[in-house]
Structure 1
Amino acid sequence: MREEVEDPVALGVQLLERLEHEELSLAEVIDRIETVTTDPATTREILDTAEARGIIDREDATVRPNRSSFLSFEAEVVTKEGEFTCRRCGASISTGYFMKLDAGEHGPFGSSCIRKVTGRE
């Protein structure tokens, strides 16, 4: 079971703000948002809020992030050792990668999932 974040909309919008992709399908964006919430209404609110703030542009099933700043792996991604479950794929991991966003810490992710979520892969 995933723990709920205090403000999933703020966290989801900040996550979209830091994506490094040129463009993504709507399904790929939802894959990223599902690391924050699986509630369809909250997912829709994250997308609508991000679009209203100019963070993303949506056209049909394509989303284009208006990148203002990238996530710095040196300063904004921290690793922690322990027993974790990746928020994206559900795998058991011993090293968790966490994003430090204004809305809170988001993770843990495995090494390949953190790159996938942020657009480094």
Structure 2
Amino acid sequence: MRGKAIVTLGLAAGLTFGTSGIADAVTVGVRGVFNGTRFVWSPQTRSIVPGMTIRWRAVDGSHNVKSRGSNWSYFRNLPNGTSVPRTFNRRGTFRYFCTIHGSVTNGVCSGMCGRIVVS
């Protein structure tokens, strides 16, 4: 029987409505699941606006988040039950993967690979 790892990717964003100063936090979940062959991020792409924070959370099992590409540098371990944040202040596409459950060969990522699109 294969195990299932669940990882949530939360969006923490302050949204101001009018001039009242009322702010709400928005959380969007992404699960890392075993698809019968390997672990994957699902969905693989999350779109945000500059200034928003992505929070990766390990709900079941241990993972990590490693950037790939020359436009950013990031590596954090995600032991089971922990989370790590990253605020994206500039526009671009920021690719990442879990080095435990993914790999990059000749620039092609397979397994737990994802991307953040900031526009």
Q: Which structure is higher in helix share?
A: 1
TM-score band, normalised by the shorter chain? under 0.3
- TM-score (norm. length: structure 1): 0.23
Q: Which structure is higher in strand share?
A: 2
Select the structure of larger CA radius of gyration: 2
